[in-house]
Structures are given as C-alpha cells and as structure tokens.
Amino acid sequence: MKAYVFPGQGAQFVGMGKELYEKSASARELFEKANQILGFRITDLMFAGTDEDLRQTRVTQPAVFLHSVILAVILGEDFKPNMVAGHSLGEFSALVANRSLSFEDGLSLVARRAGAMQKACDLEPSTMAAIIGLDDKQVAEICQSIEEVVVPANYNSPGQLVISGSIKGIEIACDKLKAAGARRALPLKVGGAFHSPLMEPARLELAEAINLTHFNEPICPIYQNATAQHVTAPETIKENLIAQLTAPVLWTQLVQNMISDGATSFIEVGPGNVLQGLISKIGKDVTVSGA
C-alpha cells in the first residue's frame, strides 16, 4: 500500500517551486491564485528571495504548503494514495491532497496558522532543541522534572526527539539531557516553542478559523499528528488539527501505525527529503522515495 507524506516547516529552500511554475500551466495558475489569496507575491520570495526571507513564519509555512500541494496536483493520475500524513504544517498539505480541504481553504488556514503562531512567539521568548541518542521515555521524564515550561514536541524517529519550551527551560533541559547521556542536545534556529503549551493563544485563534471551515469526507484516511491514528470523519479531523498546535507531533508512532496497517511504500511530496530519512529509521522494511 502507498502512503504519501508531506513535510513541515524547515524543508524550505531558495528557488523552491520555480521549476514547477515554469514547466506547468496548472502550477502557474495555483501559484498566482495563492498570490491573490495571501495578498502578497509569495512566488517572488520563494523563487528569488533570501534564506532570511524564507525563514519568516508568515512566508515559510505557506511556501512549504504550496510546494507540496502543487506537486501533488502535478502528479495527476499518478497520485493514488491509500493513506496520507503530514509532519506538523504538512498535515494541512495532506488534507488538501486527500481532498478533505479545498486548495483555497487549506492555504487560508495555513496563513492564519502562521500569523497566529508568530503572535504567540512574540508574546514570550521561547525555542526548541533536538535531542539525539537518548530513549524517548527518558527525555520525557527529564522534561517533566523541570519547573520551567519544557515538553517533548516532535517524536521524529527512535532516538531523535525535539523538545520545546521557554529559553531557560530548554537551556536547563539540554544540560540535564547531555548529563544523562544524550549524544547531542542541539538548540534549533526557530521562532518559538512550537507544539508546546506556549502556543495556546495560537491554538485558540486557529480553532476559530478551523471551526468556520468546511471539511469534506477524504478519499483516504489521514494519520494525524496529535493521535497517530487514522481518521476519516471530518469533525474528528478538525479536533485533531486544533489540538496539534499544543500537542506533540507523534511522527514515530504515526509511521509505525501506517506500517502496521499495510503501508509498504512511502512517497514524500514537497521540498527536501527529511521525512524519507526519518521513515527509513522507523521502518526498516519499507521503501521510501520522493515524488
């Protein structure tokens, strides 16, 4: 069975989507529609902007979403998913790809999400760090022992867990985790503590937008970040999408569940190949490739 997966923030690169725009009339039409919906020419920033331009949350999230969704559209008849999933932001791409959301509604929600997350980041300085080479349970226990806000945020693959929290909380956690035997505790260059309680203001704002948006019955199940379970009911999809902003991304568990349910081939749709690397570490007997 084929599983299509969609990357999240961090997969962006200068020039992303330019080749799609130049080679496909369908892609050009969607990119231009996106410029109108967003109210600025995101294509200029994607195709010819700087790394700094693309690191702005208001640009990064729509840019990665557009690259992924338009690539899925270009695949046409070749895009035949048995199941889909997306990493964090990528969940929105997956929901457009499996037709739960229209392109327009998906992009509008992503733009709203990016704005809400940026505002939450501005309220309190916060960050994230990647912890390599320590058992997930041990990382979670050490985070729980710290009085500052610090929580597991992304269960990326066995032995690779990203934590999220206040600046001080992350500093304390990194020291404690290195002392406990972590191979690396690497602070990440991100705008804030994504997938932590510090995103609660963003969750409330996005919830309002999601609840006003129409979701269709999808053409195949989506495995969602907040629960790692497969879902087809539109109302449940909405609930999990709202929970996602403050809940950890259960990527390891989600991929394991997809494999248990019959996935043998994983195709990453979007910029980069980060998910291919993670999936190779989670499931040794599956094939991974890019679209």
Q: How far is CA 90 from CA 95, 121, 189, in A?
A: 9, 20, 19
Asked if residue 162 lies in contact with residue 248, where contact means CB atoms within 8 angstroms, the answer is: no
Query: Is 88 in the active site?
Result: yes
**Strands, E assignment, the chain:** 2-6, 83-86, 126-132, 150-157, 160-166, 184-187, 222-223, 230-231, 265-268, 287-290
Q: Which of 97, 110, 109, 51 is nearest to 70 (CA)?
A: 97
Asked if residue 181 lies in contact with residue 134, where contact means CB atoms within 8 angstroms, the answer is: yes
Query: Is 195 in the active site?
Result: yes
The residue from 93, 166, 195, 196 that is catalytic is 195
Backbone φ and ψ for 94, nearest 5 degrees, come out as: -60, -35
How far apart CA 266 and CA 256 sit, in angstroms, is: 12
The residue from 68, 87, 88, 157 that is catalytic is 88
Q: Which of 221, 251, 252, 259 is nearest to 1 (CA)?
A: 259
Q: Specify which residues 151 forms β-bridges with.
A: 164
The catalytic residue positions are 88, 195
